[in-house]
Structure 1
Amino acid sequence: MMNILIINGHPDKESFNNALADAYYQGAKCIQDSVEIINVRELDFNPNLQFGYRKRTELELDLQFAIEKIKAADHLVWIFPIWWAGMPAILKGFIDRIFLPGIMFDIEEGKLLPKKLLKGKTARLIITSDSPRWYYYLYLKSPVINQLKKGILAFCGVKPTKLTYIAPIKNSTQNFRKKWLEKVFNLGKSLK
């Protein structure tokens, strides 16, 4: 049995991302008991990594809870929109505050690469955008995808990380959204 954790990084509870998180959850619940959602917008924490890595800012209870859930999960599903080629500020702050040395990775003296504390976990990114995939890939070189997939998750040991890119969202039809909700439901149902 897998532990599935969905991390919804959209700050608006009425967003299409919220519906996508629910669709994946409902699909996964068809075959899996252990499925949870963290809606980052509902957490009480300061998203600012105030001292950088020089000094640890005390972790709020909600962040401690999120860390426990991430460590207990076998599969992480990250759902968020692309804004200005990146992720929403609240999601970036969430990552900054919890993906820390000694928590998600360890620095080993004399070694160039860290000890990956999230080894054995897999992930899926479900990303919405107003830009077509070809534009984001060819012109912008997929910055937030590379950041999360390689710079954060793989750095901490999570792999493979698969991608579902949903676009364009702006001015999309109800039929378009319904089809994507069905696809994401089926991703959850197949635990992909």
Structure 2
Amino acid sequence: MKVLIVYAHPEPESLNGTLKDFAVEVLKKEGHSVKVSDLYAMHFKAALDGEDFPDRTDKEKLVIPKEQMNAYEKGTFSPDIAEEIEKVKWADTIIFQFPIWWSSCPAILKGWFDRVFAQGFVVDLGKGRLFDKGFLAGKKALISVTVGSPKELYTKYGINGDLEVHLMTLWHSTLEFTGIENYDIFYIFSASSMDDKRVKSELERFEKVLKNLK
């Protein structure tokens, strides 16, 4: 299996960094091919703008869907987008590893979706190519997140609300929208107060998830 890990955390020694490195190790031992997009290390540009389209069809007005369709058809995206598109094409499974910040993903990861999940590549709204007819149908994704707060704060009646509902825009409105099938989300709560014993326990739990990817 070919696995792409899209990793969004600025600190390599963080728990997210540990989970990313651990995933690479486990997956390779299982015989899988692995590529990593370390967005902060890559200094990945988060803002979708006109610079993404060197060969604009309209120099006066930027219409994003039209320019994305044109750039994908002609292969004229900016190099950083083109490289990530090739990684997504290559992958059978994509793991998204990130911390929960303000009940969502870091801005750099949202920017990755804005720029890489381009119309024409992942969907074609005009032709109804979305959800099970989306261009990424057949691929799978695992969302793996760390949360600083205890789980009870992110339940339906917790003060922060249901985290799965917060993440619905990612797992449903983004990933499933393009045809990707999701594994169950892997959560680590109370990540800001973990000792070494609990880190070891969580890595063991994560290992079981990784070994069950198919």
Q: Taking structure 2 as the reference length, what is the TM-score of the superposition?
A: 0.79
Unaligned segments of structure 2, at least 5 residues = 50-61, 69-75
Contact 1:11 1:90 in 2 (8 A): no
Aligned to 2:37: 38
Which residue identity lines up with residue 173 of structure 1 in the other structure? D
Q: Write the distance in 1 (CA, Å) between the matches of 2:63 and 2:16.
A: 30
Decide whether aligned partners of structure 1 residues 170 and 96 sit closer, same or farther in structure 2, where only a CA change above 3 A counts.
same
Aligned to 1:70: 88
Residue of structure 2 aligned with 1:149, choices 166, 171, 182: 171
Aligned to 1:48: 47
Q: Write the distance in 1 (CA, Å) between the matches of 2:65 and 2:117.
A: 15
Contact 2:45 2:108 in 1 (8 A): no
Shift of the alpha carbon at 1:16? 0.9
Q: Write the distance in 1 (CA, Å) between the matches of 2:65 and 2:35.
A: 33
Q: How does 1:149-188 map to 2 (within 5 A)?
A: 149-188=171-210
Q: Write the distance in 2 (CA, Å) between the matches of 1:64 and 1:146.
A: 27
Q: Does 1:92 align with 2:110?
A: yes
For 1:150-186, what per-residue CA distance to the aligned partner results, in whole angstroms no more than 9, with x for missing partners? 0110000001332111011112111111211222233
73-82 vs 133-142, which moves further: 133-142
For 1:132-154, what per-residue CA distance to the aligned partner results, in whole angstroms no more than 9, with x for missing partners? 33432314232442111101100
Which residue identity lines up with residue 89 of structure 1 in the other structure? A
Decide whether aligned partners of structure 1 residues 133 and 94 sit closer, same or farther in structure 2, where only a CA change above 3 A counts.
same
Decide whether aligned partners of structure 1 residues 67 and 137 sit closer, same or farther in structure 2, where only a CA change above 3 A counts.
farther
Q: Relative CO higher for 1 or 2, CA cutoff 8 Å, sep ≥ 6?
A: 1
Q: How does 1:3-14 map to 2 (within 5 A)?
A: 3-14=2-13
For 1:87-138, what per-residue CA distance to the aligned partner results, in whole angstroms no more than 9, with x for missing partners? 11111111111111011111224x4956401000111111100123343231
Q: Write the distance in 2 (CA, Å) between the matches of 1:120 and 1:104.
A: 12
Aligned to 1:81: 99
Shift of the alpha carbon at 1:55? 5.9
Contact 1:87 1:144 in 2 (8 A): no
Identity of aligned residues (%): 32
Which residue identity lines up with residue 141 of structure 1 in the other structure? D
Which residue identity lines up with residue 208 of structure 2 in the other structure? N
Structure 1 runs (4+) deviating above 6 angstroms are none
Aligned to 1:137: 155
Which residue identity lines up with residue 162 of structure 2 in the other structure? K
Count residues in correspondence: 190
Unaligned segments of structure 1, at least 5 residues = none
Q: Write the distance in 2 (CA, Å) between the matches of 1:46 and 1:148.
A: 19
Q: Taking structure 1 as the reference length, what is the TM-score of the superposition?
A: 0.87
Aligned to 2:57: none
